Chain A
């Protein structure tokens, strides 16, 4: 990230320019076709483990049906790993009750 320095000329508004002298444009992140396709491919290998009524639901990304429901997290991870074996570049995400990811397991 370039460091900005402030310059002021008489009669002109303050302008911020980066050290390299080139003006910076705010970058807008857009969903390009390429990015969408990359995420679509990656997400085929994503498996979610989510807490549910004091148990753990294992679910493939995008699926509305659970692959299984387990009493403890370790059994749920083992089950998720078995599902992951059948896909390439799988990732297992363990969520907390807020939905946030607390652990990511790369296969």
Chain B
């Protein structure tokens, strides 16, 4: 896939975030873009190199920093997402040629929460999804609608298609996988499954 169609996704991979990630992946594929996501099983050293390559190869990127908070009281928050977002913004600022055209969207759970923890982020395109997949679809669609020259489908249309897609995936894979396995598809598997449903008449 080309630089022009690639969308780098920088987000958590935990089960709590999975409904949001699935909706995000579907929206990107539905709008004819190619989601680029790091394989989580790689070692730390391999993973960061993979991420840098994905950042370099993607015109668009979506960073979800909604989980930049300690999971439990007394723990430190996770810094991977802001770190990777910094790499991406830096790539667009200091890179040459096509890298100057990079565009990024930052997703948050609540409006202005980032002001308290990462105030230098002001000036970026930041949208809040309230931890709701439907709202995430609305915000991602709104962003693509603003930066693309072409008309993109409405948010309700994408949300309906997403619900249809989940049923189609269950039906396609029900003879090979249990429902729990389908629900727990890794991002790469889910991308393949969504693409498979797009071949339906």
CB within 8 Å of B: which residues of A? 27, 29-31, 35-37, 39-40, 42-43, 46, 48, 50, 59, 61-64, 93, 95, 97-101
A84: min CB distance to chain B, Å: 15
Contact B196 A42 (CB under 8 A): no
Contact A62 B164 (CB under 8 A): yes
Which residues of B sit under 8 angstroms from A29, Cβ to Cβ?
172-173, 176, 196
Interface contact B160-A42, CB-CB below 8 Å: no
Residue interface mask B162-185, A partner, CB < 8 A = 1: 111011101111001000000100
User: Chain B's interface: helix, strand, loop or mixed, by majority?
Assistant: helix
Q: Is the CB of A48 within 8 A of B163?
A: yes
Q: Known: A64-B160, A100-B166. Contact between A39 and B171, CB under 8 A?
A: yes
9 new A-B pairs (CB below 8 Å) besides A43-B168, A95-B166, A97-B134?
Answer: A27-B176, A36-B199, A36-B200, A43-B164, A59-B160, A61-B164, A93-B167, A98-B23, A101-B170
Contact status B166-A99, CB under 8 Å? yes
Residues in A with CB closer than 8 Å to B19 are 98-100
Task: Quote the shortest CB–CB distance from A31 to chain B (angstroms).
Answer: 4
CB pair A98 B201 closer than 8 Å: no
Q: Which residues of B contact A93 (CB under 8 A)?
A: 167
Q: In the docked arrangement, what's the CA distance between A29 and B163, Å?
A: 21
CB-defined A-B contacts under 8 Å, sample of 5: A39-B200, A48-B163, A64-B160, A99-B134, A101-B166
Does B2 reach chain A (CB closer than 8 Å)? no
Residues of B within 8 A of A63 (CB): 160
Closest 10 CB pairs of A and B: A98-B19, A31-B199, A99-B163, A40-B201, A98-B133, A31-B196, A95-B163, A36-B200, A99-B162, A99-B166
Q: Which residues of A contact B183 (CB under 8 A)?
A: 100
Find chain B residues with CB under 8 A from A101 CB.
166-167, 170
Chain A residues, Cβ within 8 Å of B4: none
Expressed in whole angstroms, the Cα–Cα distance for A30 and B172 within the complex equals 9
* Chain A min CB distance to B25 (Å): 12
Q: Which of B23, B157, B159, B172 contacts A39 (CB 8 A)?
A: B172
A62 contacts across to B, CB distance below 8 A: 164
Say which residue of A27, A40, A59 sits within 8 Å of B200 (CB atoms).
A40
Given A29-B172, A36-B200, A97-B160 contact (CB < 8 Å): no
* A30 CA / B192 CA spacing, docked (Å): 10
Q: Do the beta carbons of A48 and B199 come within 8 Å of each other?
A: no
A29 to B167 CA separation, bound complex (whole angstroms): 17
